[in-house]
């Protein structure tokens, strides 16, 4: 897996103070995407053990609420297996931290993937510039949903995360 950045003390990409891993690779190519530099799966740098250690060092801080996977798209074909392995390890080592994931795919596609069992919140759907709304929490356009994963799996339908 390749990535562009690890953002520390982020307050814009999920609940609380978070660490964000911005991965490379996205096939959605949403017009006016905020991160088009992350589209190229060969862009950025290789995610190595030292990078995972940096991520875990941030997660070990008591004031950090959790991790957010963004990009690019964490569920892009070349990212999904590595993100799954990382989410499993984070859930095991930091069980009280929350895991958020942003993807251009819809819940209806994602809910069948193993990754959902390790997520707390999923922000789904492509960014649609005509639906841009700067008043929305944690998303750029009104079509995107901030989904409570555990509640949605239990209910068998989409349950939105409280804003």
pLDDT of residue 38: 95
- Would residue 50 count as lying in a domain? yes
Domain boundaries, position 145:
2-155
CATH number, domain with residue 16: 3.20.20.70
| Distance from C-alpha of 162 to C-alpha of 123, rounded to nearest angstrom | 12
CB 90 within 8 A of CB 59: yes
- Would residue 161 count as lying in a domain? no
pLDDT of residue 163: 63
Predicted structure pTM score: 0.96
pLDDT of residue 6: 98
pLDDT of residue 25: 97
- Would residue 54 count as lying in a domain? yes
- Would residue 48 count as lying in a domain? yes
pLDDT of residue 127: 96
HEC readout, the chain: CEEEEEEEEECCCCCCCEEEEEECCCCCCCCCCCCHHHCCCCCCEECCHHHHHHHHHHHCCCCCCEEEEEECCCCCCCCHHHHHHHHHHHHHHCCCCEEEEECCCCHHHHCCCHHHHHCCEEEECCCCHHHECCCCCCCCECCCEEEEHHHHHHHCCCCECCC
Here the tokens at position 73 are: 């798209």
**Domain count along the chain:** 1
pLDDT values of the chain reduced to their tens digit, one per residue, 163 residues: 999 999 999 999 999 999 999 999 999 999 999 899 999 999 999 999 999 999 999 999 999 999 999 999 999 999 999 999 999 999 999 999 999 999 999 999 999 999 999 999 999 999 999 999 999 999 999 999 999 999 999 999 999 998 6
- Would residue 70 count as lying in a domain? yes
């Amino acid at each position: 897996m390749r990535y562009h950045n690890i953002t520390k003390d982020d307050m814009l990409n999920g609940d609380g103070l978070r660490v964000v891993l911005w991965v490379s690779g996205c096939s959605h190519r949403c017009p006016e995407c905020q991160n088009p530099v992350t589209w190229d799966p060969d862009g950025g740098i290789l995610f190595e053990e030292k990078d995972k250690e940096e991520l875990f060092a941030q997660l070990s801080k008591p004031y950090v609420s959790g991790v957010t996977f963004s990009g690019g798209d964490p569920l892009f074909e070349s990212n999904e297996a590595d993100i799954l392995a990382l989410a499993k390890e984070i859930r095991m080592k930091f069980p009280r931290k929350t895991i958020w994931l942003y993807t251009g795919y819809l819940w209806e596609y994602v809910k069948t993937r193993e990754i959902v069992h390790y997520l707390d919140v999923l922000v789904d759907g492509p960014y649609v510039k005509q639906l841009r709304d700067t008043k929305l929490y944690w998303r750029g356009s009104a079509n995107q949903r901030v989904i409570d994963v555990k509640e949605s799996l239990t209910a068998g339908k989409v349950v939105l995360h409280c804003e």
